Amino acid sequence: MAIQNKRLVIILLSATFLLLIPLVAMQFTSEVNWSPFDFIVMGSLLLGTGLTIEFVLRKVKKTEHRIILCLAIIATLLLVWAELAVGIFGTPFAGS
């Protein structure tokens, strides 16, 4: 049980650290301009991804299935992130 709780702490700290990067960058350059909504959306994406991977690691027993599912989750995160950042698919989801 302690290992699972340790992974949850790592997920929370990782998401926090990743959100601190644009926050610190905003202090030094005007090129990074995130609104509070941007932080909420990215925080939700990071936490959702981390918690979904944690769920897969807890529930799926076969290593091959774990790897495939985790890669699919990470690929989904990257596609959603790219769409929100630059609108590579041109969906209304990205504001196009």
pLDDT in tens, 34-66: 999 999 999 999 999 999 999 999 999 999 999
Q: Tell me, what's the pLDDT at 89?
A: 76
Closest CA to 62 of 70, 72, 73: 70
Residue ranges of the domains in the chain? Answer: 2-94
Under the banding of pLDDT at 50, 70 and 90, the label for residue 84 is: confident
Residue 1: is its pLDDT beyond 70? no
Q: What percent of the chain has pLDDT over 70?
A: 92
Closest CA to 22 of 12, 32, 13: 32
Q: Tell me, what's the pLDDT at 4?
A: 66
